Amino acid sequence: MPPHDRTNRLLPPLAGGLTAAFSCLLLLVLCFRRISKKRTAPAGASDTDSKKPPHRLSYSLLRRATANFSPSLRLGQGGFGSVYRGDLKKDSVLATSHIAVKVMDSGSLQGEREFQNELLFSSKIDCKYIVSVIGFSSNPSKRRMLLIYDLMENGSLQDCLFHKKSEELRNWDKRFSIALNIARGLEYLHHYCDPPIIHGDIKPSNILLDVGFNAKIGDFGLARFKMSGGISSTPSMRGTVCYIAPEYGSGGDVSEKCDVYSFGVLLLVLIAGRRPLEVTGSPMSEFKRANLLSWARHLARAGKLLDLVDQRMVVEYLNREQALLCVTVALLCLQKLPTRRPSMKEVVGMLCGDLGCPQLPVEFSPSPTGRFPVKSQKKVR
């Protein structure tokens, strides 16, 4: 049989298989929504039962919305696909006309798993600190799977910190607000979802900023449920080097404390305005040339935590007590033993000033007690 005939014979089964997979996944999403109940949720979260399931849109509609997936509309690119800006007509079934479209290659097993994860977890999550999938589509003949999100106009935190170097992020209050948004998003996943959700890949490129620079957690491709035994539903999780917790490589349990560790790294990155591993060409001390975590620990022992703060920020508007608080919270999250790390509920409490003055881990403190050397914080709401 000629090769092209074999291909033509294979396409219908492939298309049918992908369509069936979509149908089964959507059915699973709807059933899961019915049996999943959240505990009393904090401000910013809605009742899961009131959330509409993602809409299925035609591939041709999304192709028109993105000008046939024009490179000029590409917002970013990852390991399993690209994200494009799209503009829909106002009569669309979606509540918004400005969208982001993630195009994933279904030829990759990992890509398929991430697609299924995103769609499944989106049905469970309704929180203003988390990006939700609002639609999906597929093109079996091109083996493409598509996810649709609300457009986040200011892109990722990674872009704003390191590429665009946004003026907005020279403002300390804006950075603190971003940190608190992320913490509240993780608090929701860990404490108000049943079963709890472990994100598994907290990093700047997965934090998206809307038009007002309000932060939302995105990309649930590696997310997992925490089972009753206290570990994730799979024996291993992938993540991003420099952000993954040390227990990943030592065969320890994968728990929500892994997200807490990743948040600690992210918080240091947000405070310092630099990557976890970054060597510049300018003369600087050995510790400053090393990785960010080592530098932060060195400064903590030396009692110079404020030296960590990004020098691009407008100094006269820097809240010194709040900056010291954030570095302290980050170091608490970065403790090697998961049991010593705070929960995300405790992190939010510390950042909001509800839990009093936190103490540095004794091994990083310049004082014998590890007492945090600033006044009590005003409560943040």
Statement to judge: residues 136 and 176 lie in one domain: no
Whose tokens are 């007590």? That residue is 321
Say how many Å lie between the first and final Cα of the chain, rounded.
69
Residue 380 lies in a domain: no
Structural domain harbouring 84: 15-23+38-150
Statement to judge: residues 77 and 207 lie in one domain: no
Statement to judge: residues 146 and 161 lie in one domain: no
Helix, strand, coil percentages (3-state) for the chain, rounded to 5, are: 45, 15, 45
Q: What is the pLDDT of residues 266-302, one digit of tens each?
A: 999 999 999 998 765 555 555 555 689 989 988 998 8
123: CATH? 3.30.200.20
Residue 228 lies in a domain: yes
CA–CA separation, 271 and 306 (whole Å): 10
Q: Where are the beta strands (DSSP E) in 26-80?
A: 55-56, 74-78
Residue 60 lies in a domain: yes
Torsion angle defined by CA atoms of residues 275, 279, 282 and 286, in that order, rounded to the nearest 10 degrees: 110
Q: Which of 126, 201, 259, 310 is catalytic?
A: 201
Cα 11 to Cα 22, 53, 139, 275, distances in angstroms: 17, 29, 12, 45
What is the per-residue pLDDT for 163?
85
Tell me whether residue 102 is annotated as binding: yes
252: CATH? 1.10.510.10
Percent of the chain with pLDDT over 90: 46
Statement to judge: residues 186 and 308 lie in one domain: yes
CA–CA separation, 341 and 167 (whole Å): 33
CA–CA separation, 303 and 300 (whole Å): 5
CA–CA separation, 147 and 145 (whole Å): 7
Statement to judge: residues 196 and 332 lie in one domain: yes
Q: Is the pTM of this model over 0.75?
A: yes
Residue 240 lies in a domain: yes
Q: What is the pLDDT of residues 131-188, one digit of tens each?
A: 989 999 988 877 889 999 999 999 999 999 998 877 889 999 999 999 999 999 999 9
- Report the number of distinct structural domains present in the chain: 2
CA–CA separation, 98 and 91 (whole Å): 12
Statement to judge: residues 162 and 269 lie in one domain: yes
Active site residue 307: no
CA–CA separation, 132 and 126 (whole Å): 7
Q: What would the two tokens of residue 315 be?
A: 């100094």
Statement to judge: residues 175 and 105 lie in one domain: no
